[in-house]
Structure 1
Amino acid sequence: MAAISRKEVLRLLSRFGAIILTRFGFWNCFSMLMLFAERADIKRKPDIQVPYLYVDMGAAVLCASFMSFGVKRRWFALGAALQLAVSTYASYIGGQVHYGDWLKVRMYSRAIAIIGGFLVLASGAGEVYRQKPRTRSLQSTGQVFLGIYLICVAYSLQHSKEDRMAYLNHIPGGEITLQLLFVLYGVLALSFLSGYYVRLAAQILATLLPLVVLFIDGNIGYWHHTRRVEFWNQMKLIGQNAGIFGAALILATDG
């Protein structure tokens, strides 16, 4: 009975992670619309030109809808990964909005991690009743993307004054704890990149991310008022970290 109970718990956690990740597209589109409405008041441009923006959002909502209903989820997860990759690349090369280098690292590394999460989902991981064997190559690629994200987080803890202060203001132990977190993120990144102890690394990441969302990303006053990050851009970043948490839950229970 204990073994069955543990299996059910893992299955529920995996389903919860899949629910978060498959619904990510809805929140991403909503936060983007609110962000561009916020910019309209001060006559700032969106990241992507308007005609292409609507096509991009339509594709994101379409993929999120089919994934949420479980219709050809692997195919639409792959489509969501492609849509987000194209969207991120278009916003990067468009250059319509200027971001600081530290903010670019935060934004684009999280987008890369979400793409990795969608690839993990497209591999068949997290399916309650798996009818086809998972595609290990897709899962490995997704894990590499998550590893790149963790490298960027570790880099920010060393080289971004903004990120360092966000952590130092909320963690006990000061610089020592910060350096321990730097090492932890680096070790987790190596695990995802190498493919060794991925489930354990995902479990640690899934435990760590809610604390980061609550105490670091959730400090709206610091990011919005002190660091001048647009309110809805910060809300979008929080949603991205929630999506990464969903991907980590899938790998932690079904990796």
Structure 2
Amino acid sequence: MVDNHTPLNHPVITAASRKMKPDIHIPYLYVDMGAAVICASFMSFGVKRRWFALAAAVQLAISTYASYVGEQVYYGEWLKVRMYSRALAIIGGFLILASGAGEVYRQKPRSRSLQSTGQVFLGVYLICMVYSLQHSKEDRQVYLNHIVGGEVTLMLLEVVFGILALAFLSGCYIRLAAQILATILPLIILLIDGNIGYWHHTRKVEFWNQMKLIGHNVGIFAAVLILATDG
């Protein structure tokens, strides 16, 4: 997709680049989709959930890397931050699931190393959110359209996200930090991500891409809920 802030004479924009392209080359795209469906199916039925959660984390890491290096589609820098930070957080969520966190009847002890790694990924995601609110006028504008207090409230949000990031990165007060984030994320999903008109029509984010970003944030919310109840 083409960012609306990119000039029409940008060297990346050609007749071919205006056509819809997947982020990954077609043969590998089908393999990636098949792997995702298999991992999701086994996790849903609770069959070797830890193993398939770990496999899903590896699969998503590979597909995200392939998308990044393939450069099939041009994205603006602000959109790259949104996309790749959420993908990283979803990988962290899979690692948290693979650690055994959230299991009602845990037959094996949880892997604290996997959980800690997943928490670090969530912390990096929150740092990227702070970065976007500070440096991305696209992100700043959509927040300012929906919060009371303008720049002051936006600054407070940046501080909150920064503190939560430190909690996840350090491993301190994880359950409390997850509970706070679990309270904030639904509002972000509904008011910020759910503003399809702003992202799709004003900022020229492809509809499918915005749906993917919403899905990623829902997945992040699920991972945070696990930590909020079993952190």
TM-score normalized with structure 1 length: 0.83
CA–CA separation in structure 1 for the residues paired with 2:81 and 2:57: 19
Structure 2 counterpart of 1:143 = 119
- What's 1:221 paired with? 197
* Shift in Å, 1:55: 0.2
Structure 1 residue ranges, 4+ long, deviating more than 3 angstroms after superposition: none
Q: Gapped runs of 5+ residues in structure 2?
A: 1-15
Match of 2:185 in 1: 209
Give the alignment's TM-score, normalised by structure 2: 0.92
Cα separation, 2, equivalents of 1:90 and 1:127: 32
Shift of residue 43, structure 1, vs aligned partner: 2.5
Following superposition, the deviation at residue 45 of structure 1 comes to: 1.5
Q: Which residue of 2 aligns with 1:165?
A: 141
Q: In the TM superposition, what whole-angstrom CA distance separates every residue of 1:150-208 from its partner, at most 9, and x where no partner exists? A: 00001000000000001000000000000000000000000000000010000001000
Distance 1:197 1:113 in 2: 19
Residue 113 of structure 1 is aligned with which of 68, 75, 89? 89
Q: Which amino acid aligns with 1:50?
A: I
Among 84, 93, 97, the residue aligned to 2:73: 97
Q: What secondary structure, in the 3-state scheme, does the structure 2 residue paired with 1:242 have?
A: helix
- Distance in 2, matches of 1:48 and 1:215, equals 30
The offset of 1:57, in angstroms, is 0.5
Aligned residue for 1:27? none
Q: Looking at both structures, which has the greater relative contact order when contacts are Cα pairs under 8 Å and sequence separation is at least 6?
A: 1
Where is the helix percentage greater, Structure 1 or Structure 2? 1
1: CA distance, partners of 2:166 / 2:107:
31
- Structure 1 unaligned residues grouped into runs of 5+: 1-39
* Counterpart for residue 193 of structure 1: 169
Tell me how large the CA RMSD over aligned residues is. Answer: 0.9
The share of aligned pairs that are identical, in percent, is: 82
Q: Which residue of 2 aligns with 1:234?
A: 210
Q: For residues 98 and 244 of structure 1, what CA distance do their matches in structure 2 show?
A: 25
